[in-house]
Each structure stands twice: as C-alpha cells, then as structure tokens.
Amino acid sequence: MQEARNTGARRPIYLDYQATTPCDPRVVDAMMPYFTERFGNPHSRNHVYGWETEEAVELARGQVAAIIGGAAREIVFTSGATESNNLALKGVAGTYKERKNHLVTVITEHKCVLESCRRLEEEGWRVTYLPVQSNGLIELADLEAAITAETALVSVMAVNNEIGVIQPLAEVGAVCRRRGVLFHTDAAQAVGKIPLDVEAMNIDLMSISGHKVYGPKGIGALYVRRRPRVRLRAQIDGGGQERGMRSGTLAPALCVGMGEACRIAAGELAVESSRLAGLRDRLLASLRDGLPDVQVNGDLVRRIPGNLSVSFPFVDGSGLIAAMKEIAVSAGSACSSGSLEPSYVLRALGVDAEMAFASLRIGLGRFTTEEDVDHAVRHIIEAVNALREESPLWQMHCEGIDIKSIEWVEH
C-alpha cells in the first residue's frame, strides 16, 4: 500500500484520517456486486433487478440507523455530509420561515454549516454564532441565552473536524427540547468514533458522511426524527425519492458501502477507540519528550481518540507542512487547506495567528500502526528542530527573552 504507482517511490504514511478514510476492504467486497450483476434501479419495482437493489438499500438504511440509535425510516440518503447539512438548515428554514426567523450555531462549525447560515442571513434570517472557550467547547449558558421565541433550530457540531473536541450533545439536546427548538448536529466526524444515541441526546437532525467512517465517498445521510415529526422543505426537486426530502436515483453500491461501514464501525467501536487512544497518547508523549514547547489545541479529554492538533511555537508555518515529506498530515480542515488565512477554528480558541500557522492536525485511524506513529514522531521532531534552528525568534526565546515584550521598529 505504501508504494507509489509507476514511480517506485515510497508513499508517505497517511495520518490525515479527519480529511478522509480509506475504504475498508470488507466494505469494498460488499459493494462490488452492485456495480455489476446487481445493477438495478432501486426505484424500479416491477422486476427482480429493482427488488434486489431496493432490498439492499433498505438493509443499509437500517445499518446506518442502528449506529446512532434511530429507525431505518428516519434515514435519508444524500451525497454526503455537506448536502445533509444544507438540507437540515435550509430545509428547516424553508418550513419555518413564516413563523420563525432565528438560528443558533457555533463559530467553529464546518464551512458548509457556516456558509449555509450566511446564505440564510441573506434571505432575512438572524443567526447567532456562539463563541467557544479556549478548549473549543461551548458554554451551555451562552446557548440558553441565545435561544428566543423566534429560534427555529440550534446546530452544534458533534466533533470538530480540526481539533477533534466533543461538544456536550446530551446537554445541548436537553436545552433544545426544554426550549422547544429543533436540534441538528453535524456528526460526520463522530459516527463510529464515539457512542451516539439520537433518543438519549434529543437529536432531531443528524448529518452523517460515508467516507469518514471507512465507507465510499459520494454518499451520506441525514437522520430526520419522525416522533415528534420534523418537517423539511426539499432542496432538490424531482421524482420524490427519500420520502420527498431528497429526489434523485440512489446509488445502491454506495448505500450498501455506507451501511456496511456503519455495521463494522458499530461492532468495533470500543476496541478501536481504546487502541487509537493508546496510539495518540504514545504520539503526544513522544513529541513532548523530543521537543520543548509543544502546545495541544483543544480539550485533551473531551476529544475523539484519533485526533491530535498540536502547535509548535517559533516554527515557520509555511515551511512546516512542506518539510513533512514522509507523512501525510494537514494544517487544519481539508476544505480550507488551500487558504492563506490561519485556521478560523484555532483563532476562535484564542490561538494567535503565528501559532495557528505553526500547527498540525494529526489524524490516526483503523490502519495506523505503532510503527507509523513512531516514524511520524521522528520525522516531526526532525522537521521542527530544523526549522527552529533557522528561527531568530527561537534563539531569543531560548535565551530567556520575552518575545511579546519586544517593540519592533519598522524601517
């Protein structure tokens, strides 16, 4: 797996599992028949080709529902979490626009939630963006204060895609249920990584992604509560598939792959969580042993086991990723990796721009080994030390000079 096609060069070790996950071979095996002999349209109900793919899709729907404690008929298949988030926010807004005009979300949400909110603001909706504490978590008191009689929906991400922190979903759900507002959560980074229960957590809408849970890309789902029933205005018009909420012919192979991925993840969650927590702790301890001044971004306890966001003071951020030739990591969200701006998530935590630029998001996953972690640590330490040796600020810091106290003179 590590050999680059046509070049013979060794591929970097993959440590970017929050960006995407490789398809589990068991998932691929389950999908393959639905590309070839079982190719029917699941909406064709007049012959066996349609019947067998419809049956497979419904089995997958139940598997997705099972991992979050929902019912199969509450799962709407989409093209991915971005579409699910758009459908949840805009669908609720379309339903409630004559009665309410206010949404509440969090400043560190995924771009597709923030951009959907901005689009709704252009259409006359008011949006409250909750701040986060320095550990990345919201204050429940801020949520309570933000909800008004005009609030239709609260959208709080289950697990942040950059810093991996887990928001208090059950507590948020309790507040929303008590105040009579709908609760949506973007759980793309949470499904298969932490236990989720839409009933216990009072979740009304949940966005799920296939490719974050070792399934295929191009498939996702939106959980839509039936009791009490949540109504959404469809964003795609057509043949009325998915109970009228998302028209378009489903791709049976992708649905089957997502279902199988959820089934596997549910069965292996406890063991895998323990293994990944051990690898993450090994990684962080080794970095701290080998480097002074390693800063962890976000709460270290309320965090998924496979995520570590770390900053290295006095390192040139533009050179950090470039120096990582042997490992595949990112500086933040894959959706914003081409941006020249520092991570808005880290900035929301109070991390200054220089530290935000000098940060790595390290994602561990199902196929990460101890050897991968140990190799990555050696590579990161080597790169950081090399960059610090070139930094006059690092030399001043080592001499005990308070960099922030210096008054720089412009020429």
Catalytic residues, by residue number, are: 335
CA distance 250 to 265: 23
Helix 252-290 vs helix 48-68: crossing angle, to nearest 10? 30
Omega before 228 within 30 of 0, i.e. cis: yes
Q: Name every residue whose Cβ is closer than 8 Å to that of residue 394 and which is 6 or more positions away in sequence.
A: 313, 314, 315, 388
- Rounded to the nearest 5 degrees, what angle is found at the Cα of 214, between the Cα atoms of 209 and 216? 65
Listed residue (247, 207, 202, 208) closest to 227, CA to CA = 202
Listed residue (200, 255, 297) closest to 78, CA to CA = 255
- Number of helices and strands (H, E) in the chain? 12, 12
CA distance 243 to 234: 10
Give, for 184, the enclosing helix (H) or strand (E). strand 182-186
